[in-house]
Structure 1
Amino acid sequence: MIKKPTKSKPGVFSFLDPLAYEIWMCIVFAYIGVSVVLFLVSRFSPYEWQSEDSDDEDEAGVSSASRRAPPTSSSEALHSPGFSQAQNQQKDKETPEHTNDFGIFNSLWFSLGAFMQQGCDISPRSLSGRIVGGVWWFFTLIIISSYTANLAAFLTVERMVSPIESAEDLAKQTEIAYGTLDSGSTKEFFRRSKIAVYEKMWSYMKSAEPSVFVKTTPDGVARVRKSKGKFAFLLESTMNEYIEQRKPCDTMKVGGNLDSKGY
């Protein structure tokens, strides 16, 4: 018999519990790595570069220039320095500027949107960029599915932490004391047992200071309740189960029966 452990309350970072710390670190590194690869692929692929459309502005500029320019002969037009300067300016305007949507920040944003299952307002145009994006989508699908399944179990099941699960656990540690009635069948069982684990437990109990033996069963139960989980009381299973079901229901039986006797 031990004192029933208190229920563990969820903390601020309990949402991280469904996955191990190592997995979270791998996800962070994978997120950064995929974003960098997508950025580099977009830089080297010509399909990710697009020119700004300035045809409307050019047409408006040409029409206004034609209205302002006086009619001249072909020979004057060829030798006019003003016309050649305007022609050069027009050529400069007609040269398109190429831009790329997938800068480093947009690449990080695209990867984050895919990981959060929200999507993004930009998408890769090149085959290599789409392959990188598709691999990342499949990876996030597996991770999110596993996380959601584990998170549901963590939120619906209230976990209780019990430090002791069997008599072997008691024998392996010294932090939690344990004892029996000063006179009774349980004490006699440990005194006569030839099993190594029970011999070790008997050696501890008879030499423990202060004494771990109690005079009556109520004294043992009271000691369990006051010990804050630092004392385990060994007694008959029927009495143990009976007390466990009685109010205030703050004790519990752990492990199986140590010995069985028929009557």
Structure 2
Amino acid sequence: MLKQSILNSLCLTGVSSTISHIFGIDEPIYASNSLKEITQLTDKYFNGEKADRVLIYNPDAIALWLFQKYTEFFGEIFKHTQIGLPVISVMPSVTPVCFASMYTGAMPEIHGIKAYEKPVLRTDTLFDALIRSGKRLAIISTANDSISMIFLEREMDYYIYDTTEECLQKALELIEQDKHELIVLYDRRYDATMHRFSPESEESLKVLKQVINSFATIAKATEKIWAKHNTVIGFLTDHGCHEIDGKLGSHGLDMPEDMNVIHFYGFQPKR
């Protein structure tokens, strides 16, 4: 694990208003400022038009230091994206807190999830903003994970499965059907593996490659099937990770290894 001392300056709370800008809708009530590094590229690639399809791939616990140390693993992401933007997570750096901040655009003190707990979020989210604008949305996740629980009770489609493989297959089906403006796909595999075997174990690095290849498969499908749309795809993780005694993986601390991540965005102009 690479030892880090500097925290990224941009925050993942900017994701919610950034995706709102990409769609050309009003942002959620408590959303922080958008990430101009992304919105400017959207305007450039789409010639001032807005996106009408967005697919967000949410892998769990892909730390910035993993990208820095194993950059060659990320080649399949480079093929389908134009920018990798370093951002900082929020504290505590655990999954429900981080995804709540990502999709509300607010810090934990505002949205109310401040620990590893999974209540239905009542704060205004990107999903609520898109629903108000008439968009059709889908969340695809494994059961009992944060994304499958904290954003429930909204007028959107939920596809909850036992395995990530089922989630990936459903994502490909929804891309083919081309009925949803936003698809959010959660992938828990790396997080689950690194907790058991440590972030740099043979098992964890194998799964990291699988996660990246799965994203590439999804990206290729959007490039082929959504060709008539202005499409944005994102590889947006929630937090990082570090090794603890006993060669196990963990996260949740206010340290660069847990807080620093990198988000990738790809822009596919209609053709």
With normalisation by structure 2, the TM-score equals 0.19
With normalisation by structure 1, the TM-score equals 0.20
**Which structure shows the higher strand fraction?**
2
**Which structure shows the higher helix fraction?**
1
When Rg is computed on C-alpha atoms for both structures, the one with the higher figure is: 1
